[in-house]
């Protein structure tokens, strides 16, 4: 009985089946934290609508620069 208990405990301690899933969860969490930090850093580009980002104007400027 004690021998079976000891072998079961050893099997549990050596079991690494869930390790991969936990590592993926930590990796995904890290990516989310970095994305949120980037949003806070660049929030002026997304929030106010007062930024100087204008896609059609920027594309036209690039086209004019390439033509020259």
User: Residues 17-62: pLDDT tens digits?
Assistant: 667 778 889 999 999 999 999 888 887 666 665 556 678 888 888 8
Statement: the pTM of the whole predicted model exceeds 0.85: no
Q: Is the pLDDT of residue 11 over 80?
A: no
Q: Is the pLDDT of residue 16 over 60?
A: yes
Q: Which residues contact 44 (CB under 8 A, 6 or more apart)?
A: 51
How many folded domains does the chain comprise? Answer: 1
Dig out the tokens for 21 from the structure.
């899933």
| Structural domain span for residue 17 | 2-67
Q: Which residues contact 42 (CB under 8 A, 6 or more apart)?
A: none
Residues in the chain: 68
Residue 58 to residues 7, 31, 50: CA-CA distances in angstroms? 68, 30, 16
């Amino acid at each position: 009985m004690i021998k079976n208990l000891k072998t079961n405990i050893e099997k549990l301690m050596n079991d690494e089946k869930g390790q991969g899933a936990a590592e993926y969860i930590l990796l995904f969490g890290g990516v989310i934290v970095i994305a949120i930090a980037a949003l806070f850093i660049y929030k002026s580009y997304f929030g106010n609508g007062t930024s100087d980002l204008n896609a059609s104007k920027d594309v036209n400027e690039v086209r004019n620069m390439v033509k020259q």
